[in-house]
Amino acid sequence: MATERNGADGMSTARRAWLRELGVERLWNLPGAVAPAVATGVEAEAPAAAPPSPVQEPVATAPAVELERAGPVALVQEIPVQEIPVPAAMPADPEQAWAALQDEVRDCMACGLCKGRTQTVFGTGSPKARWLLVGEAPGEQEDKQGAPFVGRSGKLLDSMLASIARSRQQDVFIANVIKCRPPGNRDPLPEEVARCSPYLMRQISLINPEMILVLGRFAAQTLLETDARIGSLRGKVHSLSVAGKKVPVVVSYHPAYLLRSPAEKIKAWQDLQLALSVGRAGN
């Protein structure tokens, strides 16, 4: 785990950076700033009545939430979800199985997305990581560079991880539900999800993470097999069963959505606290 350096007030550099990112460094209040418009292709995650606009719009002032003093969010509910089967054909040696999976994903032509891709995006981090982060699908930059979350939303994700003294290199594995870029960053089609999500299931079973943090509506609905809104999925501890072992799942907003709706970063902070408390409970 990355080390934290504390300043004179006891707050770590990483946490200060995230609070600055939140806009709550001083009084915990978000300023009524103007959010930058980001074309990401990630579906609106706000309530249906008020989807985030693709054009610049003022950000609502958030309630004064005392983030640090609020402490970790309680584990509200545990919802057993789907059983993840381990494929019979998988090599018994985990390293061989991982390498075989990487090869399979690299060469995959199971759906039409293979035609438009530069390369597949398998994921990044250590397969021995204790946390697995799951996003939706590669965007333009990810398709070019072959790694997940390398654009603006990836930078925010790195800041979020740093604020809780975790780094993508050491502490987490980051993967997407879909391994190839959908054209124009459109939502993946059901058939594409059906063809591609077994790769994620195999990644989950091989990593065997202590906790899965799901980023955004699409990934949450896919992994939890639900059409519930993201607002109702976050704040709870869901559960996947992987090879007979229960893995807690925490849902949060997609970083691209947070870039469009900075007022929601406070909720993302709470989600990280929940994820941390789940991780600790599993220790």
What is the pattern of x (binds ligand URA, CB under 6 A) and - over residues 155-184? ---------------------x--------
Angle of the 190-207 helix axis to the 94-106 helix axis, nearest 10? 160
Task: Give the largest Cα separation in the chain, rounded.
Answer: 55
Nearest distance in Å: CB 216, ligand URA: 6
- Residues 216-275 close enough to bind ligand URA by CB under 6 A: 256
Contact 252, 214 (CB under 8 A): yes
Total of residues contacting ligand URA (CB under 6 A): 11
* Residue with smaller CB distance to ligand URA, 137 or 274: 137
The single-letter DSSP state of residue 60 is: P
**Residue in the structure block whose two tokens are 């990630």:** 42
What is the pattern of x (binds ligand URA, CB under 6 A) and - over residues 80-119? ----------------------------------------
E strands in 161-209: 172-176
Could you give phi then psi for residue 104, rounded to 5 degrees? -60, -45
Closest CB to ligand URA belongs to which residue? 135
* Residue with smaller CB distance to ligand URA, 125 or 139: 139
Determine the Cα–Cα distance for residues 108 and 117; give it in Å rounded to an integer.
Answer: 11
Let me know how long the chain is: 283
Spacing of C-alpha 175 from chain mean position? 8
Nearest distance in Å: CB 251, ligand URA: 14
* Residue with smaller CB distance to ligand URA, 28 or 218: 218
Contact 33, 258 (CB under 8 A): no
Nearest distance in Å: CB 172, ligand URA: 13
* Residue with smaller CB distance to ligand URA, 15 or 195: 195
Determine the Cα–Cα distance for residues 187 and 204; give it in Å rounded to an integer.
Answer: 22
Nearest distance in Å: CB 21, ligand URA: 17
Determine the Cα–Cα distance for residues 213 and 249; give it in Å rounded to an integer.
Answer: 6
Encoded tokens for 155: 């930078």
Nearest distance in Å: CB 163, ligand URA: 19
What is the pattern of x (binds ligand URA, CB under 6 A) and - over residues 123-152? ------------xxxxx--x-----xx---
In order of 18, 133, 238, the CA distances from 78 in angstroms are: 29, 19, 5
Nearest distance in Å: CB 117, ligand URA: 13
Contacting residues toward ligand URA, per CB under 6 A? 135-139, 142, 148-149, 153, 176, 256
